[in-house]
A and B are shown apart, each in its own frame.
Chain A
Amino acid sequence: MTTILTSFLVFFAAGVSTEVEPVSVITSPVEAKRIADRVMQQPIYHRWELRQKRVESSGTLEETTWSKRAELLQNWLLDHTQWIGKVWEWIVDWWNSWFERPQKSGGSGSGGGFGSFLHWAGWLLVAVVVGSLLILLYRLWMTTRLEGKQAKVLSRRQIRDALQSGEALAMSSSDWLAEGEKWGNEQDRRLVFRALYLGLLSGLHQQGRIDFRRNRTNWVYVSRFRGSEDLRDEFASLTSLFDEVWYGGIESSEQNIDPVKAQVKRLLEAGPSHA
């Protein structure tokens, strides 16, 4: 270590003498260690260290073209990334000073109260940021996990947009039915009917029984339904019911939702159209 340090000081004094304190200043081993620590933190030391290691391993300074390029790259990175360290240090200092402020003010009264508030607000902010990051990571993980099963996690905004537009294809049939279940628990019967019907349209479209387009009315779907007469009649009766509940503003009662769910399920389980 001593050898390395000595040779470095010689090397360094020749090139960048302004960055090192004069040798005459060193008055004690402790002082020498302090200066050495400072030197070793500087990028030029790392460059020298790398060079030295190569000399020790090969015994020559004649490097290959590739090793030269690598050295240049390392040097460049060391030169140009030190600002990141400085910024980080600045952030850490600022952060520490922020939390130390209440202790420094030390007194009681409004200044101390405000400082304490800032202290707690700071921790709250940290908690919120960490919590958000965790949620984001969880959603990312869930999406990645479910993509394999050809499913997707819908955001609240996606669901809200789908509801506002009545765009049946904005969600899969199962998503609509799941939303319907949710509203069923919240006792909003009209929304349950709507979710069931939009889920039905989404499912029938996927099965090729109808071609969903936002500019088509429900009875156009009925008239162009691809399937047996029985299925068409069932679809027509569900359409009548949806019209009555949604456009007619009729509040459906508890007991007539289950048969509708069963009807929707039957239609969706009939499978894709072979037409």
Chain B
Amino acid sequence: MSDISDDEIRGVSEQLNELLDQLARVVTGQSRVLEEMVITLLARGHALLEGVPGTAKTLAVRALAASLSLQAKRIQFTPDLMPSDIVGTNVFNLAQNSFELLRGPIFTDLLLADEINRAPAKTQSALLEAMAERQVTIDGNQHPLSSAFAVFATQNPVEFEGTYPLPEAQQDRFLLKIRIHYPEKEAERAILLATHLGHPLDNLSDGRIHPIFKLDSLIRAQQFLVKIRVEEPVLDYALAVVRATREHESVQLGAGPRGSIHLLVASKARALVKGRDYVIPDDIVALVEPVLGHRITLKAEAEITGTTPAEVLQTILDKVDVPR
């Protein structure tokens, strides 16, 4: 058994659930999305949010940042955006007769990269180093980023006109790809009622959001993950699922070792959110699609027949035995 006390686990879990409840009051009908965003933060990862317009992607990220009293910045990705617009650049100060660093918006805790696939690959790649190593290099000098640095990028699956698909290497850096669907009828009705009664949903300064986690609490919660127990059969189960993606008949390129690592780490974060200090197979199953869905490339014939990565992953889950 891990050496985390039950009280510690219970304390962190209660805080996380309070956080989720608060976010759910702002972002109605998207509890799964909110849980996966919190998992991303706990696992020190980055998330790619994909959904049709008007499904509260941006609002969710803003609400999360406000709930954690973290600094959040937003970059609207456009075709003419340059890498230096993201990371910053050295400019010459005439008064002091020297170069000084003008830091870009990447120097923050939470970065909302809105419509990331509107910028060309060169600009998207400016995020690679930051996401992998939590640092940026400007004119040969390395600059560390915040220890809580996380990228929440959004992209629209419908508007292919004028978009640049993310390269595989870039996609692989994202811990989760969170799919946002339309809310259920009841949830959408609640949104309508709130709007009707004069509560602007995108205004977070009306007292609905208060900081629940501070930066040090978040970092402590992140450190708990190391102590979350994973029994070997459960670890082997995760491994079997990932490896099966490389052998599936419809898959051209399966998930790599980073996919295995991310699946395990995300599962541990989910266990913590659920108030456990051990991972169960349900954690793995719940995160297979968000973690692996964007890491597999389907064969052309599979795509033509309309097969999706989610379907492929489901057939894999149907074949792999759950350890028991």
Q: What is the interface of chain A, defined by CB distance below 8 A to chain B?
A: 165-166, 168, 194, 197-198, 214-220, 243-244, 246-250
Contact = CB atoms under 8 A, between A and B. Distances in A.
Interface string B204-244: 00000000000000000000000001010010000000000
B151 to A, nearest CB: 31
A226 B286 CA distance: 23
A249 B1 contact: yes
A248 to B, nearest CB: 4
Contact of A165 (B279, B281, B321): B321
B323 interface: yes
Nearest to A198: B324
15 contacts: A168-B324, A214-B321, A214-B322, A215-B320, A216-B322, A217-B285, A218-B281, A219-B280, A243-B280, A246-B324, A247-B229, A248-B1, A248-B276, A249-B1, A249-B278
B317 interface: yes
Given A249-B1, A249-B231, A217 B278 contact: no
Contacts of B133: none
A197 B323 CA distance: 13
Q: Interface majority SS on B: helix, strand, loop or mixed?
A: loop
B301 interface: no
B1 A215 contact: no
B279 A247 contact: yes
Interface of B: 1, 229, 231, 234, 276-282, 285, 317-324
A219 B282 contact: yes
A217 B322 CA distance: 6
Nearest to A222: B282
For the complex of A and B, 5 pairs with smallest distance between CB atoms: A166-B324, A248-B278, A214-B321, A217-B282, A217-B281
B280 A217 contact: yes
A215 B324 contact: no
Q: Which of A216, A219, A244, A248 has the most CB of B within 10 A?
A: A248
B322 A215 contact: yes
A142 B67 CA distance: 68
A215 B320 CA distance: 6
A248 B281 contact: no
A38 B276 CA distance: 89
Given A215-B318, A249-B1, A250-B1, A166 B278 contact: no
Contacts of B277: 248
B320 to A, nearest CB: 6
A230 to B, nearest CB: 23
Contacts of B276: 243, 248
Given A215-B322, A220-B282, 11 more contacts: A194-B324, A197-B324, A215-B320, A215-B321, A218-B322, A243-B280, A244-B278, A246-B324, A247-B278, A248-B229, A250-B1
Contacts of B323: 166
B2 to A, nearest CB: 9
A242 to B, nearest CB: 9
Contacts of A214: 321-322
B268 to A, nearest CB: 12
A244 B276 CA distance: 9
A168 B321 CA distance: 12
A218 B282 contact: yes
A248 B277 CA distance: 7
Contacts of B229: 247-249
A102 B280 CA distance: 67
Contacts of B231: 246-247, 249
B240 to A, nearest CB: 11
Contacts of B278: 243-244, 247-249
A215 B317 CA distance: 7
Nearest to A216: B322
Nearest to B284: A217
Contacts of A243: 276, 278, 280
- Which residue among A197, A219, A247 has the maximum number of chain B CB atoms within 10 Å of its CB? A247
A197 B324 CA distance: 9
A220 B321 CA distance: 14
A204 to B, nearest CB: 14
B1 A247 contact: no
Contacts of B317: 215
Nearest to A250: B1
A215 B234 contact: no
B226 to A, nearest CB: 16
Nearest to B317: A215
A245 to B, nearest CB: 10
